[in-house]
Amino acid sequence: MMDMEWFPVVFFTFKLLALSVGMFFAIKWHYDQGKKNADKKAEQRAVLRAGGKVAAIFIVLLVSLGLLTYFFATRLGLDLSMP
């Protein structure tokens, strides 16, 4: 029973060391990527702006299609009441 008391000490020490090294390299990689891609921020903003415009146009078209469908359904005399 006394032989197993060293396991938690070694295991948690190794775990702490491995997570610390991994965290250091993750932070370093993100920092380096931020410095490298500083000039690409304007390009990313343009892509996000274009994506927002496409999403807005899609929503407007979707709402207008729903309203057009409702208009034709009421004009044709379809029963649109909920059961």
Q: Report whether 80 contacts 74 (CB < 8 A).
A: yes
Computed over every residue of the chain, the mean pLDDT equals 87
Q: Residue 7's pLDDT band (boundaries 50, 70, 90)? A: confident
Positive or negative, the Cα torsion across 58, 63, 68, 69?
A: positive
To the nearest whole percent, how much of the chain has pLDDT over 70? 92
Q: Which one has a higher pLDDT value, 56 or 82? A: 56
pLDDT at 14: 94
The tens digit of pLDDT for each residue in 34-73 reads 777 766 777 788 889 999 999 999 999 999 999 999 999 9
Q: Which one has a higher pLDDT value, 40 or 74? A: 74
